[in-house]
Amino acid sequence: MSRFFTTGSDSESESSLSGEELVTKPVGGNYGKQPLLLSEDEEDTKRVVRSAKDKRFEELTNLIRTIRNAMKIRDVTKCLEEFELLGKAYGKAKSIVDKEGVPRFYIRILADLEDYLNELWEDKEGKKKMNKNNAKALSTLRQKIRKYNRDFESHITSYKQNPEQSADEDAEKNEEDSEGSSDEDEDEDGVSAATFLKKKSEAPSGESRKFLKKMDDEDEDSEDSEDDEDWDTGSTSSDSDSEEEEGKQTALASRFLKKAPTTDEDKKAAEKKREDKAKKKHDRKSKRLDEEEEDNEGGEWERVRGGVPLVKKPKMFAKGTEITHAVVIKKLNEILQARGKKGTDRAAQIELLQLLVQIAAENNLGEGVIVKIKFNIIASLYDYNPNLATYMKPEMWGKCLDCINELMDILFANPNIFVGENILEESENLHNADQPLRVRGCILTLVERMDEEFTKIMQNTDPHSQEYVEHLKDEAQVCAIIERVQRYLEEKGTTEEVCRIYLLRILHTYYKFDYKAHQRQLTPPEGSSKSEQDQAENEGEDSAVLMERLCKYIYAKDRTDRIRTCAILCHIYHHALHSRWYQARDLMLMSHLQDNIQHADPPVQILYNRTMVQLGICAFRQGLTKDAHNALLDIQSSGRAKELLGQGLLLRSLQERNQEQEKVERRRQVPFHLHINLELLECVYLVSAMLLEIPYMAAHESDARRRMISKQFHHQLRVGERQPLLGPPESMREHVVAASKAMKMGDWKTCHSFIINEKMNGKVWDLFPEADKVRTMLVRKIQEESLRTYLFTYSSVYDSISMETLSDMFELDLPTVHSIISKMIINEELMASLDQPTQTVVMHRTEPTAQQNLALQLAEKLGSLVENNERVFDHKQGTYGGYFRDQKDGYRKNEGYMRRGGYRQQQSQTAY
Amino acid sequence: MASRKEGTGSTATSSSSTAGAAGKGKGKGGSGDSAVKQVQIDGLVVLKIIKHYQEEGQGTEVVQGVLLGLVVEDRLEITNCFPFPQHTEDDADFDEVQYQMEMMRSLRHVNIDHLHVGWYQSTYYGSFVTRALLDSQFSYQHAIEESVVLIYDPIKTAQGSLSLKAYRLTPKLMEVCKEKDFSPEALKKANITFEYMFEEVPIVIKNSHLINVLMWELEKKSAVADKHELLSLASSNHLGKNLQLLMDRVDEMSQDIVKYNTYMRNTSKQQQQKHQQRRQQENMQRQSRGEPPLPEEDLSKLFKPPQPPARMDSLLIAGQINTYCQNIKEFTAQNLGKLFMAQALQEYNN
């Protein structure tokens, strides 16, 4: 049966056809879909195996169709391309052609094409208008076709003499084919829409059809376009065909009426045609997109499609078939076979599976089967998106969540069902109620996949939209599912599986600040009975306890390194988030992750970076500026904090990486709700750098060899200095720079007002859970460090200074001032002594002046210069002979060269 | 501006004697065979140079210009000068030579000496012993034998004593520069050290009698306060800068020595290569067996000898260090004197 004909008559598959036509692909794509819709076993097998002839001819007809399209729009270049393809395809079909004779349509296109080209060639005006490419293609094609047609001369001439006859033959052949197929169809119920249509199409009598064709052919020369329509949009012919069946007598009329459609069907056809054309214009390339679009398209398309399930429902199983396990499983397998194949309608597949579940449930086939089918539904939901990068649609996602929930319900309700990946297909026990049910499938994988999908959805949603919030609401559901699965696996799963699900749980817990626990901590147990009640109301477990429990289990039981690493990092993060600095730090040090994290895969490294940052921020909150600085140094000094934390791609490196890399990196991004505020991070870093660097700078002002503690901080200072005009600070950085300048002068009040004010509160400090605590800590730090800076900078102008004055100046209490100064004296930072009775600091003035400093440095440098020079001298002597060393030494002694004899000898020996 | 000029003008005359003294001191430098024994500068030239720096020089930036004059016996008289225009990046196609020619031609038209006798340059804390100066002075001296370079130190001048010095390359250095071979061996052969790179030519500033009269007139009028710069006791800044610069040079020197050292080690290593010995041993064995010896291959082909570092840089650095040291010595000596004087004054007042 002619493939072309079938597709033409099948209005349902039209949508996909129109897409495929354009890319000139064999319509074979339809095949996968059709049997699915029809779910007709017999037909299925029959159609998939096509004869070689059909296949080749189909290819040819497709090409011809494209050529006709191209001819219509005068795209000669395209014609040329297609013609070459056609020649090749013909060559492939040679063996069949030898057997069957040259097909009529082939001759016809050759003849038409030649005529068409000649016509174009004659049309001088048109040729002038043609663009260069087309004109070139025209001449080439003309030559080619002349040459080519020489081989078919006899055929063509016979065709030209008698075009009707050849066309008739064509038609007859089609008819024969369709009759053949209808015979088969008649064996069956013939309920399906497609078969129904086919039956219709077979109906038109030979005569009317012949007549029609004749009309067609007569028109052909003059009205190329109409012919083309006939060819390119199968829909027209099919619709007219089906109409013919309704009233044979009106066939002729309808044929003529085609251009002015009156009947509903015609209207529909016209609409379709229009849509087809529009589509052609738009998405020539993206076939896939096209398909998806069709899925979504409303109105017309939906209506046509809407009929399908209705037809399908009874078709799922033949009427009266006893629905047994075997039948259902068979059906299931059948559906699954289509999975993953090209052109399978995934949405339809999911629907089918859901139907199957219903049927199974209706017929009480037992939970085993249902579980099995559910597994498959979820799997096909995941499969729905062919592309890894794209994310699930909300409705799919909702379905997926529901499905997993239902599955869990069943599994919890029936503890006798065993689920596992390792259960072989053969050893499954789906219905034998005596033995425990065994189903193949892995709930853990499903949940992991679900988590991935969730991440993907979050990654692909604009984080500042309401939509994101909506999606984020699902997080609770995801967590709930994970918790259920965890409970399930705790009972039944292996340790490995438990570890995996624990990790998932941890990953959903570690970044959340436990406000309830925090509140509980804040309100000490006054009125214990009441608070106990509160606690009972609150969720049973502190997240800290939970993390502890889960992580410890993983530490003990896990064998894969990755899960443990992730768990440790999450644990540290959680500790740090809740200001348990020492636990976090100890865990980090004990894990030795810093040594070998560079061998981990990027996502783990990102997690590590996040953890380090959180650790640094935690240290800052505790007032441990040095630790904070050290923890943040690596991340901040690179200037790529954004990238290192997986919170966005840098524009700069966009050119460096290719598309593929970019995709991979995009997938690694952390969803927005996990982000660490970069401004906060930078501010914490800069402020701790300021607290360290400014006193250090003051202490080593004249030291030539002083090193920077923080390069980035210095960079910011320099940027600030370069500013031609200093306005009041605007950004966070400017605030810190301004504060640093104030601190340099020992002016802690200004410094304080720059660091802590409305703007900075809004930008940074209010983001901390315990903002006020942090602020008081910060003020105190600023006071202390300003005091130190003041002493470093101005000690040279004081003979002595009263501690009381200092304590007034910096609003610190006397013991603190005392302790700070004592510390400085002990560390030999400040050359002074404390005079206890008068509470004053007496300066010793042992600091060298600037000139003295310089002179010292110069002396040092000269020392090294001399040393170097002597080495050169040594060398000279060495070259004259290692053999005469003793003599040389004697010589030296005599000459009195031994200024530093012992030392020199050592030197000369070590030099070799 | 006018008063300022006057001030400097007056110091110029007064310092002419000190310059002369310096010249005398340098006389021992042994410029015996040099073509020029003395440089006589017109007051006009001094003022022009000073003015040029005032207007265009800033900080470490230097200004340069052309000296014009004539040679009389063994005396080089510099009677006029004109500045080089300041270079900017945008007019790269500016032709300096043509500018100079134009300038000289124009000057000739107004009947001014138009003989090119050298060039002048300002300096920042005496850091003028550089490769650039060496190169350009060499090309000058190569083309015009008598040419000198005048070094003007604006900072010292601002402190009260005009600092203007004339330098020439020694004949020895000229030889070396002509050879363009600055390898250690060549310099050793030329027997040149940093002391004998430049020779200072004594300077005499000469004014017409009329101007001298005017100067005397002005001197009488000028207040004592105008000369106070000379007595400034604040020395630390200047000294510090000098030390800093000196230290930088010492660092460079150090690096240079290290470079030289590695070079020495590399060469010696290569000379001691076992290769040669092995080859010899092999040949000995071959001879004992009666086979023809292997050819002695050129070692330099097998092992590329390490590139000897150019020693001229280190010579220049040494020269620069020398000038710094001289500067500091001079400066501290003067300052000590001032301090003692101040002390004595204070005691007297008390």
The pLDDT value given to residue A340: 61
CA distance B305 to chain A (A): 16
The pLDDT value given to residue A235: 42
Single-letter amino acid code for the residue at A366: G
Region of B70 (left: φ > 0; alpha: ψ -120 to 50; beta: rest) is: beta
Per-residue pLDDT of B123-176, as tens digits, reads 888 788 888 888 888 888 888 888 889 999 888 888 777 888 898 888 888 888
Q: Which of A865, A876, A907 to mutate to test the interface with B (most CBs of B within 10 A)?
A: A865
Half-sphere exposure of A608 (CA within 13 A, CB side): 21
Per-residue pLDDT of A884-905, as tens digits, reads 444 444 444 444 333 433 334 3
What is the rounded CA–CA span in Å between residue B104 and residue B216? 34
Q: Sorting pLDDT into bands at 50, 70 and 90, what band is A822?
A: very high
Structure tokens, A50:
């096509």
The pLDDT value given to residue A144: 78
What is the rounded CA–CA span in Å between residue A290 and residue A283? 7
Structure tokens, A196:
């129904």
What is the rounded CA–CA span in Å between residue A290 and residue B223? 98
Whether residues B254 and A854 touch (CB distance < 8 A) is answered with no
CA distance A880 to chain B (A): 10
Single-letter amino acid code for the residue at A4: F
Contacts with A858 from chain B: Cβ below 8 Å: 243, 246-247, 250
Average pLDDT over every residue of A16-43 = 42
CA distance A883 to chain B (A): 13
CA distance B251 to chain A (A): 7
Residue of B nearest to A855 (CA): B243
What is the rounded CA–CA span in Å between residue A138 and residue A133? 8
Per-residue pLDDT of A755-809, as tens digits, reads 888 888 888 888 888 888 889 999 999 999 999 999 888 888 888 899 888 899 8
What is the rounded CA–CA span in Å between residue A12 and residue A122? 43
Point out which residues pair with B121 in neighbouring strands. B64, B151
What is the rounded CA–CA span in Å between residue A825 and residue A342? 80
Tell whether the model's pLDDT for residue A5 goes beyond 50.
no
What is the rounded CA–CA span in Å between residue B317 and residue B313? 6
- Which residue, among A453, A425, A568, A442, has the nearest Cα to A497 in the 3D structure? A442
Residue of B nearest to A704 (CA): B244
Average pLDDT over every residue of A562-589 = 89
What is the rounded CA–CA span in Å between residue B131 and residue B138? 10
Identify which has the larger pLDDT, A311 or A348: A348
Among the residue ranges A496-510, A647-661, A859-873, B272-286, the one predicted with the least confidence is: A647-661
State chain B's mean pLDDT as an integer: 77
Residue of A nearest to B269 (CA): A879
Cβ neighbors of B126 (< 8 A, separation 6 or more) are: B153, B242, B323, B324, B327
Residues of A near B (CB-CB distance < 8 A)?
A: 849-851, 854-855, 857-858, 861-862, 864-865, 868-869, 871-872, 875-876, 878-879
What is the rounded CA–CA span in Å between residue A300 and residue A524? 67
Q: Sorting pLDDT into bands at 50, 70 and 90, what band is A878?
A: low
Helix axes A625-637, A711-722, angle to 10 degrees: 80
Average pLDDT over every residue of A148-153 = 75
Average pLDDT over every residue of A555-576 = 87
CB A415 within 8 A of CB A383: no
Structure tokens, A510:
């570690």
The pLDDT value given to residue A363: 72
Average pLDDT over every residue of A609-629 = 90
Q: Residue A858: which of B246, B265, B268 has the nearest Cβ?
A: B246
CA distance A702 to chain B (A): 12
Distance of CA B87 to the CA centre of its chain: 21
Contacts with B265 from chain A: Cβ below 8 Å: 875
Identify which has the larger pLDDT, B30 or A158: A158
- Which residue, among A142, A96, A150, has the nearest Cα to A120 in the 3D structure? A142
Q: Which of B244, B260, B261, B271 to mutate to test the interface with A (most CBs of A within 10 A)?
A: B261
Average pLDDT over every residue of B293-308 = 62
The pLDDT value given to residue B90: 59
Please write down the HEC assignment for all residues of A499-553: HHHHHHHHHHHCCCCCHHHHHHHHCCCCCHHHHHHHHHHCCCCCHHHHHHHHHHH
CB B19 within 8 A of CB B164: yes
What is the rounded CA–CA span in Å between residue A734 and residue A757? 13
Structure tokens, A620:
């800052």
Average pLDDT over every residue of B293-315 = 67
Residues of B near A (CB-CB distance < 8 A)?
A: 236, 239-240, 243-244, 246-247, 250-251, 253-254, 257-258, 260-261, 264-265, 268, 271
What is the rounded CA–CA span in Å between residue A69 and residue A233? 10
Tell whether the model's pLDDT for residue B117 goes beyond 60.
yes
Identify which has the larger pLDDT, A188 or A269: A269
> Which residue is associated with the tokens 């020779």?
B199
> Which residue is associated with the tokens 């001289």?
B326
Residue A459 to residues A381, A675, A869, Cα–Cα distance (Å): 19, 12, 65
The pLDDT value given to residue A350: 75
Q: Sorting pLDDT into bands at 50, 70 and 90, what band is B14?
A: very low
A346 phi/psi in degrees, rounded to 5: -70, -35
Whether residues B254 and A861 touch (CB distance < 8 A) is answered with yes
The pLDDT value given to residue A277: 53
Whether residues A872 and B243 touch (CB distance < 8 A) is answered with no
What is the rounded CA–CA span in Å between residue A114 and residue A157? 12
The pLDDT value given to residue A132: 72
Per-residue pLDDT of A198-237, as tens digits, reads 444 444 444 444 444 444 444 444 444 444 444 444 444 4
Interface A–B counts its CB contacts (< 8 A) at 47
Contacts with A857 from chain B: Cβ below 8 Å: 247
Whether residues A850 and B240 touch (CB distance < 8 A) is answered with yes
Whether residues B258 and A868 touch (CB distance < 8 A) is answered with yes
Identify which has the larger pLDDT, A160 or B39: B39
Whether residues B257 and A869 touch (CB distance < 8 A) is answered with yes
Tell whether the model's pLDDT for residue A304 goes beyond 50.
no
Structure tokens, A232:
């390119």
Average pLDDT over every residue of A430-450 = 72
Give the start-end residues of each E strand in A235-381: none
Please list, residue by residue across A648-677, b when 16 or more beta carbons sit within 10 angstroms of its beta carbon and e when fewer do: bbeeeeeeeeeeeeeeebeebbbbbebbbe
Average pLDDT over every residue of A328-352 = 71
Identify which has the larger pLDDT, A876 or B243: B243
Identify which has the larger pLDDT, A299 or A792: A792
SS3 (DSSP) at A281: helix
B167 phi/psi in degrees, rounded to 5: -130, 150
Cβ neighbors of B340 (< 8 A, separation 6 or more) are: none
Q: How much of chain A, in percent, has pLDDT values that exceed 90?
A: 4
What is the rounded CA–CA span in Å between residue B241 and residue A294? 81
Q: Sorting pLDDT into bands at 50, 70 and 90, what band is A480?
A: confident
**C-beta neighbour count of B106 within 10 angstroms:** 12
Among the residue ranges A505-509, A735-739, B6-10, the one predicted with the least confidence is: B6-10
Cβ neighbors of A129 (< 8 A, separation 6 or more) are: none
The pLDDT value given to residue A241: 44
CA distance B286 to chain A (A): 29
Whether residues A875 and B240 touch (CB distance < 8 A) is answered with no
The pLDDT value given to residue A218: 46
What is the rounded CA–CA span in Å between residue A642 and residue A903? 55
State chain A's mean pLDDT as an integer: 70
What is the rounded CA–CA span in Å between residue A695 and residue A528? 49
Q: Residue A864: which of B244, B254, B268 has the nearest Cβ?
A: B254
The pLDDT value given to residue B213: 92
Whether residues B240 and A871 touch (CB distance < 8 A) is answered with no
What is the rounded CA–CA span in Å between residue A412 and residue A490? 12
By DSSP bridging, strand B75-83 and strand B38-42 are parallel
Helix-then-strand count for chain A, H and E: 48, 5
The pLDDT value given to residue A655: 61
Structure tokens, A581:
């600095």
Contacts with A868 from chain B: Cβ below 8 Å: 254, 257-258, 261
The pLDDT value given to residue B191: 77
Q: Sorting pLDDT into bands at 50, 70 and 90, what band is A421?
A: low
* Angle CA A645–A651–A657, to nearest 5: 90
Tell whether the model's pLDDT for residue A657 goes beyond 50.
yes
Tell whether the model's pLDDT for residue A447 goes beyond 50.
yes
What is the rounded CA–CA span in Å between residue A587 and residue A505? 20
Per-residue pLDDT of A837-874, as tens digits, reads 888 888 887 767 777 888 888 888 888 888 888 887 77
What is the rounded CA–CA span in Å between residue B30 and residue A767? 79
- Which residue, among A878, A905, A883, A906, has the nearest Cα to A893 in the 3D structure? A905
Per-residue pLDDT of B42-54, as tens digits, reads 888 999 988 888 8
Whether residues B247 and A861 touch (CB distance < 8 A) is answered with yes
Residue of B nearest to A869 (CA): B257
Half-sphere exposure of B279 (CA within 13 A, CB side): 13
Structure tokens, A251:
């066939």
Q: What is the pTM of this model?
A: 0.55
Average pLDDT over every residue of A526-550 = 60
Q: Residue B243: which of A854, A872, A878 has the nearest Cβ?
A: A854
Range among A67-81, A486-500, A648-662, B332-346 with highest mean pLDDT value: B332-346
CA distance B99 to chain A (A): 37
Identify which has the larger pLDDT, A194 or A411: A411
The pLDDT value given to residue A819: 92
Helix (H) or strand (E) holding A420: strand A417-420
Q: Residue B264: which of A854, A865, A875 has the nearest Cβ?
A: A875
The pLDDT value given to residue A818: 92
Whether residues A876 and B264 touch (CB distance < 8 A) is answered with yes
Whether residues A865 and B253 touch (CB distance < 8 A) is answered with yes
Contacts with A862 from chain B: Cβ below 8 Å: 250
CA distance B264 to chain A (A): 7
CB A644 within 8 A of CB A662: no
Identify which has the larger pLDDT, A244 or B55: B55
Please write down the HEC assignment for all residues of A682-711: HHHHHHHHHHHHHHHHHHCCCCCCCCCCCH
What is the rounded CA–CA span in Å between residue A828 and residue B342? 37
C-alpha dihedral sign at A510, A516, A518, A520: negative
Whether residues B247 and A854 touch (CB distance < 8 A) is answered with yes
Residue of A nearest to B265 (CA): A875
Q: Which of B257, B259, B324 to mutate to test the interface with A (most CBs of A within 10 A)?
A: B257
